[in-house]
Each structure stands twice: as structure tokens, then as C-alpha cells.
Amino acid sequence: MGERTYINGSYKNILVSETENAGCLNTILIRINRPDAMNALNIELMGEIASVLTAADKDDKAGCSVITGSDKAFAAGADIKEMADANSAEIYEREMFASWDVIRKVKKPVIAAVSGYALGGGCELAMLCDMIAASESAKFGQPEVNLGVIPGAGGTQRLTRAVGKARAMEIILTGRMVSAYEMFEAGLLTKVSPDDKYLDDAMSLAKAICGKPTLAVQLAKESVLKAFDTTIESGIEFERKNFYFLFSTEDKKEGMKAFVEKRKPEWKQR
């Protein structure tokens, strides 16, 4: 990729930076930056995130992205002011979830680093990521029922797949906030860290991924996600084709040769 202007670019709702990982690919950090609105998500903000992640996918120097907010709020929900006066036809015509669909198809891993409130759309954005690292004080929830609506960016689907029908029903139908530890025990979170370490731990996780062979990481992510939308038979067939394909890569040769020679591999396909 020639131009890398998406890093430190001019964005209205997010801040974008890059961390160089010695001997590895770099980590792209996206920080939601709407402090006056508790980082509420609007269409413009989601478009900016989608644009950055799309650019990172094409960037040979980028290996993984981390999305975070502030210590007080990852994202306290969708921007209600943007939706309050809309009718059914208007909300449909806005295509407000178009950017969400773009993010869903990103090839490189994306980690959510969550502290404070991750409610409604904020919870859905965290679940849209591939992993969630949270602080001890993080609060999750889908309180849309309190507004007379339901989750619309995947909350009913992703939460159910992560924590099971019974718990998802209770969380969504009551609209209650759920602690980080309860969500961790339910299987939604990758890890829970002290409030002053959650972002560092998320960045460390990203660095570990950035040190792995790019194509193998992308096909592993693709294969895991396939488990959510197909049968076990089709999923295994999909996984196996990706497994076979990787045997034609330079990194497979290097990885296995390094293992036999008891040395650290030098990945080639970045």
C-alpha cells in the first residue's frame, strides 16, 4: 500500500494511531472520540471506523486493529438524537448498518478494548470485533427494550451465540447492565483486566497476533467465523480447504522447517 494517510488522518469522531511492534507487523489503534456524547455511535462515526479498517486490510504493514473508547465509556449506545424523529421508511432508507456490514467482512483481526459503558450499539460494536478485552469496571448491555425497540446491529444474534439463549433472553428482555466478570464467565469476553491495564493487555494480544503469518491468521479467522453461519459438516469442509491451501505457502514451509530446526521462524508473507 503506497499512501498510509488513514493513520493520523482527519476524522471527526475517532482518533487513529499506529504502534510499531519490533519484528512484527504494526497495530492500528482506533479510539472513539465523542466525549460529550459518551461516545455514542452515529452513522458518520461508524463510516470512519469502516474506512480505517478497510485501509488497514490493504496495508502490508498492519497486522491487527484495536478499537477502544475512553475509560468511562467504550460507547454508551447509538446516538438516539439521530433516530428519535425517524419513521420506519426513513430509518430503512438511511442504510445505517451499511458500515457495520463492511466491518463484518474485514479480513484482519479486530480487538475491542472496553472500559466503562458498552451498551446498545456499543455492546454490538464490541461483539462485532473478533475478541473483547475488558476492564473490571466495564458494563455491557442491550437496553433497547427500554426505548421501545430491539437491538438492530446484531445484538440478538451475536449475544445469543456467545452466551446462550436463556441468558441472552434475560439480558435483552430486561435491558439490565451486566458486569465484565459475568460476561467473561458467560463466554463473551476474551479477558478481564484491572482498569489501568485493559488497553495494554489488548495491545499485547494484538502484538502477539501481529507476530504470526498473515495469511494463516486471516484464514483462521475466516474459518472460526464460518462456524456461526453453517453446519458442522460444511464448516469442517471449509476449514479443511483452507488447511490444504496453506500448504502451498512459503510461510508453511518456513514454519515447519523452523520447528524441525528448533529455531524461530522468519515469516515471509506479510
> How does pLDDT run across 112-170, given as a tens digit for each residue?
999 999 999 999 999 999 999 999 999 999 999 999 999 999 999 999 999 999 999 99
Shortest CA distance to 171 belongs to which of 192, 148, 150, 153? 150
144 a catalytic residue: yes
177's CB contacts (< 8 A; 6+ apart) are 117, 119, 139, 140, 141, 143
Is a pLDDT exceeding 50 seen at residue 57? Answer: yes
95 a catalytic residue: no
Is a pLDDT exceeding 70 seen at residue 1? Answer: no
Q: So what CATH class is 14-210?
A: alpha beta
Question: At 217, phi and psi to the nearest 5?
Answer: -65, -45
pLDDT at 270: 56
Is a pLDDT exceeding 80 seen at residue 269? Answer: no
Candidates 50, 73, 76, 78; catalytic one: 78
| CATH number belonging to the domain at 214-260, selected among 1.10.12.10, 3.20.10.10, 1.10.10.10, 2.160.10.10 | 1.10.12.10
pTM (predicted TM-score):
0.95
pLDDT at 94: 82
Cβ distance 85 to 48 under 8 Å? no
Cβ distance 144 to 154 under 8 Å? no
Cβ distance 34 to 76 under 8 Å? no
User: Which amino acid type is present at position 189?
Assistant: L
Q: Which residues pair with 192 in a beta bridge?
A: 134
pLDDT classification of 2: cutoffs 50, 70, 90: very low
121 a catalytic residue: yes
Candidates 76, 112, 113, 124; catalytic one: 124
The domain spans of the chain are 14-210, 214-260
User: C-alpha cell of 31?
Assistant: 479510539
Candidates 37, 112, 144, 255; catalytic one: 144
78 a catalytic residue: yes
